[in-house]
Amino acid sequence: MNFINYISIVAIPIVILIILLYGFFEKKNVFDLFLKGAKSGFNTTIKIFPTLVGIFLAIGALSSSGILDFIINILAPIFAIFKIPTEILPLAILRPISGSGSMAIATDIMSKYGADSFIGLIAATIMGSTETTLYTIAIYTSSVNIKKTRFVLIASLMADITGTVASVVIWRILSKSFS
């Protein structure tokens, strides 16, 4: 464990040193390149800022309006038919929309049911196997001025559904293997 702590302490300084040595041997002005990259990053941030504001506003409205609870009540019987635990339903719905919101739900699930419980393991796997799809699509497409995202959205949401279903199926198989 001490070795891992040591690696984590020296990782960033080593990366910085490698970058500086590479710049020195390639005869590049690393600081000027850093400033150019920072300026480009700042311009990108300004460009995508309206998109971020819109996403955060929509997430806030969705959370406080009660629509999420309404959707959960509608989908719960469908999840029950496929024997998917309804406790993960809020996480499965919110994960494509909000990373911080889904993290809060996953934390709540794990504190309520335990991190090593069947529900907790599914929640952890969903967090690792799905993406904040709407946020990612909005940021990436707005930063390069792509307007037609319909097919990207459909494919990405299908991948999120697949990740959620696969999480349940895999833990059902693994839980039978260990019992």
- The pTM of this model reads 0.67
pLDDT single digits (tens) 128-164: 999 988 878 887 887 777 877 778 888 999 999 999 9
Mean pLDDT of 169-174: 92
Residue 63's pLDDT band (cuts 50, 70, 90): low
Note whether 128 and 165 are within 8 A (CB): no
pLDDT single digits (tens) 9-59: 899 999 999 999 998 899 899 889 989 989 988 888 888 788 778 777 777
Other C-beta atoms lying within 10 Å of the C-beta of residue 121: 19
Helix, strand counts (H, E) of the chain? 8, 0
pLDDT of residue 179: 62
Residue 123, CA distances (Å) to 95, 102, 129, 140, 168 in order: 10, 10, 10, 26, 9
pLDDT single digits (tens) 85-135: 989 998 998 899 888 788 888 999 999 999 999 999 999 999 999 998 887
Virtual torsion, Cα 80, 83, 88, 93, nearest 10 deg: -60
pLDDT single digits (tens) 70-82: 888 898 898 888 8
User: Three-state SS for 147?
Assistant: coil
Residue 67 or residue 117, greater confidence: 117
Note whether 119 and 85 are within 8 A (CB): yes
CB contact set of 6 (below 8 Å; sequence gap of 6+): none
